[in-house]
């Protein structure tokens, strides 16, 4: 940067050179182009602001082509028709509809420009009216104004794209090769997001990667654990690795609020909601489906929140999430959403509707895919005041064939629960009694894999019991039900093996309102969350016995690790105190505890499915002692190491204590002469050697004289 002189220095220099400032024309002085003498102009900020405004583009303007060419006497009529069509998708700005005409004839040129208040309204108008058929000869072609420049820059001659040399990327599954067989988890606390190993054998969490402000709202693992997704105002991003998490891909979607992976991690669905310019209109919804690896938008959906407010398990500004449910297992072949009186099923080869039409189902209320097969179940409530019964139906995709149907009568509510292998579908049906004043609960069990899909009906011992929770055993044939009245309901276990439902046992009066099966089955946690303040019971379903009872006070979340060896309980920031998480063994032993202020999330990193067959896994489980022998030595070594570390810790505490005592003994000795002086020469510090004497001291506080006169 050049040296800068003050104006006073300039005047002194001019006086020495006999230069008269009054004769200098300052406006005639020009610096060479691009030269600023190291001094930034005050106008630079304005220039930058102008460029930013220009770069913002014309995202709220659309170009409508293939309009009728009409003479000037029909201009107003055509303009009115166009305005009527395009006012339905948003608010057109004042003087925001411009239809060019020929100067010599006054005829329209067959296209027009329309300016909306927001880019979202313009996008919706394009989505809704591109291909609109005004008449047989005029089918609208709609483009964004910002796209015109892109079309103009298309070269006249094709040139082959530049081929970049292949550079191999990081092995995103390397974390699965951990020598200790550990699992990873991610936590969010305050502004930090951190990935850690669960080193349960060492009774600690081993840090992997930590980053502040990694996400602006939440993080989410992909279903197979390959990616960690973060959410930002500009869109979403995925990261991967074992020790250093590198950003692999970004997905542009302004103001994204929710994301959802397909089961096989091939696609990512992003969602945003935008307030309309007209307060009377509903929120505008934008959904994008990205290819995870390339970042390309495979299909987008736009519309009002009302169009996407049906179905799903969780709501966000009136829209149920997930909007799209994936089917067909890990192959990601199909996805579907429920609309009014229809189910729209799309296939990912073209991202279009199967057979180019939806499945019409009058008054459909819910639908749910099989976790493994292209089969979904729907629930339709009673119609016509009970004249047409409720029903549950199973549909096969892509044939859309109805495989099975079961009519249900006097239904007040219905919920569907798929077993993780897709072998069973349990339908919980709440029915009205004859008086219509109360309800009772029954179950319909569909055996999906058997011929003709037989259905078995069963009820609880007391069918009037309220069902609080239901959960299938993963990869198994058992299920658990919490039923009865709070505060101490019962927990019953059932088996469907052998062709019929049989009760295994009922646990009476348990402080539980939630069920958490181990991913490998066999074990379950009976949890009392919210009003039960974190009561935990670790139960062995094979032996029908309680392994341990414990408490994590105010626990809000419980999550098993993907192997079923460990379980995490956490207290998130919905409570102000005791934020953090505990790690337990599968049989209820507390291994370690970590406290974190402002704790938001705990998520285990999922594992992909095992390459072992179910028969091999069962064989390993039955012969676990034989396979575990080689690990017993390692466990013994770790136990010795932990004992040694514990001894070292106790020795350190003892040494610290002795050091502290000796330090005070030294102070005591140094102050001996001062204590002796205070005791009038007595040298001993032993209180028993002193004789206690009582000394009475009289002190005259006041003297007053009062004259008493004789009566």
What is this structure's pTM?
0.72
* Among 175, 196, 199, 178, residue whose Cα is nearest residue 187: 196
Lowest-confidence segment of 22-36, 69-83, 166-180, 460-474 by average pLDDT = 22-36
Q: Looking at the predicted structure, is the pLDDT value of residue 102 above 80?
A: yes
- pLDDT tens readout for residues 573-626: 888 888 999 999 999 999 999 999 999 999 999 999 888 887 887 888 788 777
Task: Give 281's pLDDT tier (boundaries 50, 70, 90).
Answer: low
Q: How far is CA 190 from CA 244, 431, 572, 600, in A?
A: 21, 47, 11, 8
Task: Give 85's pLDDT tier (boundaries 50, 70, 90).
Answer: very high
Task: Give 678's pLDDT tier (boundaries 50, 70, 90).
Answer: confident
Name 453's Cβ contacts closer than 8 Å, sequence gap at least 6. Answer: 394, 403, 404, 446, 447
- pLDDT tens readout for residues 386-403: 678 999 999 999 999 999
pLDDT attached to residue 314: 43
Name 658's Cβ contacts closer than 8 Å, sequence gap at least 6. Answer: none
Q: How far is CA 410 from the centre of its chain?
A: 38
Compute φ and ψ for 636, nearest 5 degrees.
-65, -45
Most trustworthy range by pLDDT among 592-601, 649-658, 680-689: 592-601
Q: What is the CATH number of domain 61-153?
A: 3.30.70.330
pLDDT attached to residue 317: 47
Compute φ and ψ for 694, nearest 5 degrees.
-100, 130
pLDDT attached to residue 689: 65
Report the C-alpha gap between 635 and 179 in whole angstroms.
Answer: 14
Task: Give 139's pLDDT tier (boundaries 50, 70, 90).
Answer: very high
Q: Looking at the predicted structure, is the pLDDT value of residue 549 above 50?
A: yes
Lowest-confidence segment of 20-34, 207-221, 356-370, 654-668 by average pLDDT = 20-34
Q: What is the mean pLDDT of the chain?
A: 86
Report the C-alpha gap between 33 and 149 in whole angstroms.
Answer: 30
Q: Where are the chain's structural domains?
A: 61-153, 215-322, 325-430, 617-651
- Structure token digits, residue 573: 């920031």
Buried b (16+ CB within 10 A) or exposed e, 627-654: eeeeeeeeeeeeeeeeeeeeeeeeeeee
Task: Give 334's pLDDT tier (boundaries 50, 70, 90).
Answer: very high
The rounded percent of the chain whose pLDDT value lies above 90 is 55
Q: Are residues 505 and 540 in contact, defined by beta-carbon separation less than 8 angstroms? A: no
pLDDT attached to residue 34: 54
Which helix (H) or strand (E) element contains residue 210? Answer: strand 204-212
Lowest-confidence segment of 302-316, 524-538, 644-658, 678-692 by average pLDDT = 302-316
pLDDT attached to residue 668: 85
pLDDT attached to residue 313: 43
Please identify which residue in the block is written with the tokens 């310019």.
277
- pLDDT tens readout for residues 462-512: 988 999 999 999 989 999 999 998 788 999 999 998 878 999 999 999 999
The rounded percent of the chain whose pLDDT value lies above 70 is 88
pLDDT attached to residue 45: 42
pLDDT attached to residue 526: 97
For residues 339-358, average pLDDT: 93
Q: Looking at the predicted structure, is the pLDDT value of residue 44 above 80?
A: no
Task: Give 688's pLDDT tier (boundaries 50, 70, 90).
Answer: low
């Amino acid at each position: 940067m050049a040296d800068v002189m003050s104006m006073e220095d300039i005047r002194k220099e001019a006086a020495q050179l006999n230069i008269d400032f009054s004769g200098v024309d300052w406006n005639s002085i020009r610096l060479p182009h691009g030269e600023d003498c190291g001094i930034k102009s005050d106008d630079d900020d304005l220039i930058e602001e102008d460029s930013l405004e220009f770069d913002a583009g014309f995202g709220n303007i659309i170009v409508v082509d293939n309009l009728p060419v009409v003479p000037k006497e029909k201009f107003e009529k055509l303009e009115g028709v166009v305005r009527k069509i395009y006012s339905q998708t948003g608010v057109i700005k004042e003087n925001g509809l411009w239809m060019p005409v020929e100067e010599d004839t006054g005829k329209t040129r067959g296209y027009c420009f329309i300016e909306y208040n927001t880019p979202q309204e313009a996008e919706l108008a394009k989505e809704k009216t591109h291909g609109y058929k005004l008449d047989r000869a005029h089918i609208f072609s709609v483009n964004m104004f910002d796209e015109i420049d892109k079309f103009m820059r298309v070269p006249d001659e094709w040139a082959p794209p530049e081929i970049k040399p292949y550079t191999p990327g990081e092995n995103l599954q390397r974390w699965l090769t951990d020598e200790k067989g550990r699992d990873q988890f991610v936590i969010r606390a305050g502004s930090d997001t951190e990935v850690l190993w669960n080193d349960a054998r060492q009774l600690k969490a081993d840090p992997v990667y930590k980053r502040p402000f990694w996400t602006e709202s939440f993080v989410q693992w992909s279903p197979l654990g390959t990616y960690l997704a973060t959410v930002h105002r500009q869109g979403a991003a995925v990261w991967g690795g074992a020790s250093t998490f590198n950003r692999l891909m970004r997905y542009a979607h302004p103001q994204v609020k929710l994301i959802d992976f397909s089961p096989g991690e091939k696609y990512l669905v992003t969602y945003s909601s935008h307030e309309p310019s007209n307060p009377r209109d509903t929120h505008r919804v934008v959904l994008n489906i990205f290819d995870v690896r390339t970042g390309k938008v495979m299909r987008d959906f736009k519309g009002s929140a009302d169009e996407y407010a049906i179905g799903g398990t969780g709501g966000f500004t009136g829209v149920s999430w997930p909007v799209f449910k994936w089917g067909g297992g890990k192959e990601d072949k199909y996805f579907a959403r429920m609309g009014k009186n229809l189910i729209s099923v799309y296939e990912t080869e073209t991202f279009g509707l199967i057979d180019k039409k939806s499945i019409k189902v009058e008054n459909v209320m819910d639908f749910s895919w099989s976790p493994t097969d292209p089969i979904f179940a729907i629930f339709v409530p009673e119609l016509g005041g009970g004249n047409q019964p409720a029903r549950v139906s199973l549909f096969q995709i892509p044939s859309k064939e109805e495989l099975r149907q079961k009519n249900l009568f006097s239904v007040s509510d219905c919920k569907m629960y798929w077993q993780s292998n897709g072998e069973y579908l349990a339908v919980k049906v709440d029915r009205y009694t004859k008086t219509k004043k109360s309800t009772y609960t029954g179950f319909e069990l569909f055996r999906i894999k058997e011929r003709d899909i037989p259905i078995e009906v069963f009820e609880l011992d007391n069918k009037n019991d309220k069902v609080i929770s239901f959960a299938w055993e993963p990869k198994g044939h058992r299920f658990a039900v919490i039923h009865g009245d709070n505060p101490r309901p019962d927990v019953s276990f059932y088996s469907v093996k052998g062709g019929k439902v049989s009760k295994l046992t009922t646990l009476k009066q348990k402080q539980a309102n939630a069920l958490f099966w181990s991913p490998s089955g066999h074990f379950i946690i009976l949890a009392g969350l919210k009003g039960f303040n974190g009561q935990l019971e670790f139960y062995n379903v094979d032996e029908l016995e309680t392994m341990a009872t414990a408490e994590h006070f105010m626990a809000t979340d419980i999550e098993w690790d993907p192997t079923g060896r460990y379980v995490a309980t956490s207290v998130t920031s919905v409570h102000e105190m005791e934020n953090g998480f505990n790690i337990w063994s599968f049989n209820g032993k507390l291994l370690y505890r970590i406290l974190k202020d402002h704790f938001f999330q705990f998520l285990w990193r999922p594992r992909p499915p095992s390459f072992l067959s179910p028969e091999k896994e069962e064989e390993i489980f039955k012969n676990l002692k034989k396979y575990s022998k080689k690990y017993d030595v390692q466990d013994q070594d770790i136990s010795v190491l932990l004992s040694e570390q514990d001894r070292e810790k106790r020795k350190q505490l003892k040494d610290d204590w002795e050091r502290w005592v000796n330090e005070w003994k030294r102070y005591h000795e140094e102050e001996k002469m001062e204590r002796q002086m205070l005791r009038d020469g007595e040298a001993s510090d032993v209180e028993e050697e002193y004789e206690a004497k009582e000394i009475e001291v009289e002190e005259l506080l006041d003297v007053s004289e009062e004259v008493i006169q004789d009566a």
